[in-house]
Amino acid sequence: MAVDPAEPATGDPRPHPHATAEEVQAAYGDPKLANVLYHDWEAGTYDEKWSISYDERCISYATERFRAAAGDVGPYEHALELGCGTGFFLLNLMQGEVIGKGSVTDLSPGMVEVALRNAEHLGLPVDGRVADAERIPYDDDTFDLVVGHAVLHHIPDVPAAMREVLRVLKPGGKFVFAGDPTNIGNFYARKLGQLTWWLTTNVTRLGPLSDWRRPQEELDESSRAAALEAVVDLHTFDPGELERVARGAGAVGVRAVTDELSAALFGWPVRTFEAAVPREKLGWNWAMFAYRTWQRLSWVDQNVLARVLPREVFYNVSVTGRKPV
C-alpha cells in the first residue's frame, strides 16, 4: 500500500482500516507501512480506547502537560501537530487557548480524517495532510509552534524529523513533544500490561466469570493488533539522549522533563484490563474511580516523587526547544 506524503490534501490516500493478511505480513518488515495499517485500524476507536475527550478533563491534561514541558501556555498563533492521531493534543490546546489556528499531519489517513472531523465538530480552524514526519509538506518558517504527543517513538529517523521540525518553524519558534516512553518506563509498563492481559483473559475463562470475557474473535483481533503495535513502537528514550538529539538538529533552549511513575504503574494495568473485558461491564463508577485514582497518583508523582527520584525512572518524557533566531 503506497503512501505518498507529498500528495496534496485533495489527493491524500484514503483510510485503509481492513488490511489483508499479505499487507500485515509485509508490515513486519516496514515500520512505516505498519504505522499506517495499525493506526488506520485503530482510528475509529482510538479515542474510546485511550479515554480521550475534548472537554475540561483533557483540556486541563493537555494544557498542564504543555506547561510542564514548555514553561508557558502561549498563546501561539499557528501550530502544527506532527503525528496528530485523532487530534488529542492540538485540539485540546486550542480549546485551552494555547493555540489559535492549527494544522495536523499523520502518516495514517484514518487518523487525519478523524482529527479533521473532531476539529470540525468542535468548530476549530484546522487543516490537515497525510504526511511523513521525516518530510513535512510545509514551507520553511511557517509555524510558531510544532507539537506532538506520543509520536517520536513511532518515527524511524527521529533526528531527521527534528531537522524538519526546525525547518518549518519560524525563527524563535518552539517545539513541544510530550508523552513518549522512557527506557525504564517502557520496560515496566510493557511487563505490567502483558501480565494483566494474561491474568484477565485466563481468569475470565472460569465459569462464574465467563460473562466478563470478551468474544474470542475480539480477543484474537486485539492480540494481532498488539503484535503489530510492537512493530510501530520503534523507540524508547533516555531524557538526556533526547536532549542531545534535539540540540544536534540545531535547536536551542532544549529541555527534557518526565512525569508519571505511580500513575503509570496503576494506569497500564487498568487500561489493559479495560481492553480485555466487555466495556459495558465497567460503567461510569469504574471510569470515575480509574480517573480519580490516576489524578491523585499523578499529583504524588509531580509533587513528591519527582523531587527525590531521577527523571529516568518516570514513564513519560517530554522535550522542548526553539529554532534559533
DSSP-assigned states of every residue in 223-263: HHHHHHHHHH----B-HHHHHHHHHHTT-EEEEEEEE-SHH
> Residues of the chain whose pLDDT is less than 70?
1-10
Q: What per-residue confidence (pLDDT) applies to 4?
A: 38
**Residue 209, in any domain of the structure:** no
* End-to-end CA gap in the chain: 41
**Residue 204, in any domain of the structure:** no
Q: What per-residue confidence (pLDDT) applies to 316?
A: 97
* b/e code 118-132 from CB counts within 10 Å (16+ = b): bbeeeebebebbbbb
Half-sphere exposure of 193 (CA within 13 A, CB side): 17
Domain count, the chain: 1
Q: For residue 57, what is its C-alpha cell? A: 478533563
**Residue 218, in any domain of the structure:** no
**Residue 88, in any domain of the structure:** yes
**Residue 15, in any domain of the structure:** no
Distance of CA 253 to CAs 124, 246, 248, Å? 30, 10, 12
**Residue 51, in any domain of the structure:** yes
Q: Which domain holds residue 59?
A: 21-187+223-323
Q: What per-residue confidence (pLDDT) applies to 69?
A: 96
Q: What per-residue confidence (pLDDT) applies to 188?
A: 97
Give the helix ranges, DSSP H, for 96-249: 109-122, 158-168, 183-203, 216-232, 239-248
**Residue 200, in any domain of the structure:** no
What predicted TM-score, i.e. pTM, was given to this entire model? 0.91
The Cα 202–Cα 2 span in angstroms is: 39
Q: What per-residue confidence (pLDDT) applies to 51?
A: 83
**Residue 228, in any domain of the structure:** yes
Q: What is the pLDDT of residues 169-214, one digit of tens each?
A: 999 999 999 999 999 999 999 999 999 999 999 999 998 999 999 9
Helix (H) or strand (E) holding 146: strand 143-149
CATH code of 157's domain? 3.40.50.150
CB 259 within 8 A of CB 298: yes
